[in-house]
């Protein structure tokens, strides 16, 4: 009887730890590597891409940053701002003068790209 109770307690504890680890990993900040973003002029610049919040996959975050300067905006956030809402639904904050950090959010997802030296 004691052995069964011990096994049940260990099983419940193991499942709880695994569930917590999976939930934490899916929303944890993670690095997605370096990509070359394209500018309208045709020039490119390297950016380190990180998912700082949410569950977006790294390949999707990389694709977003690769073309973020070429993506057509839907609306701006007013005059003299560097915020655009893209047709894909991403809201991106651009630097005053590229290259600079770019932060894009959509729902609970946040992607940050920092220029490489």
pLDDT band at 22; cut points 50, 70, 90: very low
pLDDT in the model for residue 12: 42
d(CA 99, CA 51): 19
List CB contacts of 43: < 8 A, sequence separation 6 or more: none
Q: Give, in order, the Cα–Cα distances in Å from 109 to each of 3, 54, 55, 101, 115.
A: 45, 4, 6, 17, 20
Task: Give bridge partners of residue 102 from the DSSP assignment.
Answer: 113
pLDDT in the model for residue 99: 85
Which position has the token pair 């900040």? 29
**Domain boundaries along the sequence of the chain:** 28-115
């Amino acid at each position: 009887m004691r052995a069964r109770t011990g096994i049940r307690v260990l099983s419940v504890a193991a499942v709880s730890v695994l569930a917590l680890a999976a939930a934490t990993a899916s929303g944890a900040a993670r690095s997605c590597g370096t990509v070359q973003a394209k500018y309208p002029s045709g020039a490119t610049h390297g950016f380190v891409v990180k998912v700082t919040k949410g569950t977006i996959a790294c390949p999707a975050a990389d694709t977003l940053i690769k073309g973020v300067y070429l993506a057509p905006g839907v609306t701006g956030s007013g005059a003299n701002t560097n915020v655009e809402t893209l047709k894909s639904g991403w809201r991106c904050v651009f630097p005053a003068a590229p290259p600079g950090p770019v932060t894009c959010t959509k729902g609970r997802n946040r992607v940050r790209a920092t220029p490489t030296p």
